[in-house]
Amino acid sequence: MADGNHSELPTVLILRRCPTIALLEPIVSQKFNLLKAWDSPLPQDQFLTTHASSVQALISSADGPPITAQILHLLPSLKVIATTSAVLDHVDLAECRRRGVAVVDAGKAFAEDAADSAVGLFIDVMRKISASNRYVRDGLWATRGDYPLGSKIGGKKVGIVGLGNIGLEVAKRLEAFGCTVLYNSRSEKPSLSYQFYSNVCELAADSDALIICCALTAETHHMINKEVLSALGREGVIVNVGRRVIIDEKEMVQCLVRGEIRGAGLDVFENEPDVPKELFALDNVVLSLHQAVATHEAIVALGELVTGNLEAFFSNKPLLSPAVIN
């Protein structure tokens, strides 16, 4: 039960307390009365029906339940969905558009941190930082001698798949290292000097590494397939800080095991938290637990953005980070 102060605050619905929501809850709850579906003994559909006339705003997360047409149907008064991610594949955007429900995303709140992680994974694979760390810790330096050399970062041609907020920050960092940036995106960006490729396979063939930053759509599902990985070749590295199923994971694992690509830096996996066990034994693979975007600073920035968007909505002011859903 909300106390007297919270009862006067605007109400915002949250369906499930997933990891991102748990981090944001202390920030957002200072200015809004959070209606927590998971606290109710009622089944979700019954809970939503009970509150259907009063819920105008909802906070959603990519690691939480999807916002389906059925959920939107049960919330006829809903006017805005504040998502905590830059990608929107967990929201039925077509149904939101049909119902006139505005959607706001994470904007640039995560872009710098995700880019730092992407470039960090790339450097780690190329320079064998994690692998040589294990080698030293296992006492092998003294018994087996020096570890195999890594490769220089400068001068490499790096293909970025998805040149949105995150991809642009990755490009900026790679330029500082002296890399040549190539890219594939939904459309060419004439204002940029980077070379554009409409075909991902051709991009892979011309790149020393691919860094995946794009959103998940019907077109990008398993877009990085056997053909693309073969085009990347034996000296190619792949880094994924995008969505889980953009890479055909089974094909990628086989390419890594067979030495058909040079290495991988992976923050996301198809069946999280289950990671293919074949990867554990490979020193040319760096694994991270889906936290590329997550820093203390990013969570604070995201909390402020979500709060600002909701404040703008309840004050009839322009939303801070409206998503393009047409």
Q: Which two tokens stand for residue 266?
A: 């992976």
- 17 labelled catalytic: no
Judge if the upstream peptide bond of residue 273 is cis by omega within 30 degrees of 0. Answer: yes
Count of CB atoms situated within 10 Å of the CB of 192: 14
- 8 A C-beta contact, residue 29 and residue 5: no
Out of 243, 249, 251, 262, the active site residue is 243
- 243 labelled catalytic: yes
With a CB cutoff of 8 Å and minimum separation 6, the contacts of 105 are: 83, 85, 86, 87, 88, 321, 323
With a CB cutoff of 8 Å and minimum separation 6, the contacts of 239 are: 118, 121, 122, 125, 209, 210, 211, 212, 264, 265, 266
Report the amino acid identity of residue 207: S
Report the amino acid identity of residue 150: G
Out of 227, 235, 272, 297, the active site residue is 272
- 304 labelled catalytic: no
- Which DSSP state fits 40? -
Out of 16, 17, 90, 290, the active site residue is 290
- Which DSSP state fits 277? G
Catalytic residues: 243, 272, 290
